Amino acid sequence: MPDPTNNPPAPVPAGAAPQKSGSSALKIVLIIVGIFVVLGMLVVGVIGYGFWRISRAVHKSANGQVTVSTLGGAISANTTQAVTAGDLGVAIYPGATQGKGTLHMTIAGKSMVTANFLTPDPKDKVIAFYKDQAGPNAEVMTTDTGGYINVNKGNDSITITILQQANQNNGETQITIVHTSGS
């Protein structure tokens, strides 16, 4: 289409170079790299905050007890913390010694206590003792190497696992009791 003013186009100075499209491509690459750097910094910040929160929630005392605080309660694990029959909801086998691995956990109004015990008595004697403790409504299962007893009392549940250990712990019988309770 002809120019209505009939003016010729402006001359380009002899020393001037034409505009390069490379500078706009460089800008786009720099913007993309900048976005990735900012996203990387955000991810590192979120991960750092998560580790900070965990470090504030986990506590280890001088006696080896580890406690993890959560929004709904706490978890406490200790290899030496003593438990009582009241904690476990059932009598502790007479003469049994508490083994390693005790756990107390309270979350959202529910609690769980776990403890391990060892006794030199044979598994059949231990199973008979806990069958009497559990009463007639207990679920009982026995095997060649041990037994399992489960008692449900409303909101409480007690699970007792009995295991005869032939090659470990000098052939002692291991008793593991898990008591859960709450609404």
pLDDT in tens, 64-94: 666 666 666 666 666 566 788 888 889 999 9
Environment class of 22 (CB within 10 Å of its CB; exposed 0-12, middle 13-18, buried 19+) = exposed
**Between 36 and 182, where is the model more confident?**
36
Among the residue ranges 31-40, 63-72, 95-104, 169-178, the one predicted with the least confidence is 63-72
Mean pLDDT computed over 3-13: 61
* Whole-number pLDDT of residue 61: 67
Q: What is the mean pLDDT of the chain?
A: 79
* Whole-number pLDDT of residue 72: 60
* Whole-number pLDDT of residue 93: 92
Give the tens place of pLDDT for each residue, 100-135. 777 777 777 788 888 889 999 988 899 999 988 888
* Whole-number pLDDT of residue 160: 92
* Whole-number pLDDT of residue 154: 81
Closest by CA to 63, choosing from 78, 52, 75, is: 78
Does the pLDDT value for residue 20 go beyond 60? Answer: no
Q: Pick the most confident of 59-68, 81-90, 167-176.
A: 81-90
Has this prediction a pTM greater than 0.85? no
Per the document, the length of the chain is 183
SS (H, E, C) the chain: CCCCCCCCCCCCCCCCCCCCCHHHHHHHHHHHHHHHHHHHHHHHHHHHHHHHHHHHHEEECCCCCEEEEECCEEEEEECCCCCCHHHHCCCCCCCCEECCCEEEEEECCEEEEEEEEEECCCHHHHHHHHHHHHCCCCEEEECCCEEEEEEEECCEEEEEEEEECCCCHHHCEEEEEEEEEEC
Could you tell me the pLDDT band of residue 39, with boundaries at 50, 70 and 90? very high
* Whole-number pLDDT of residue 68: 66
Does the pLDDT value for residue 138 go beyond 60? Answer: yes
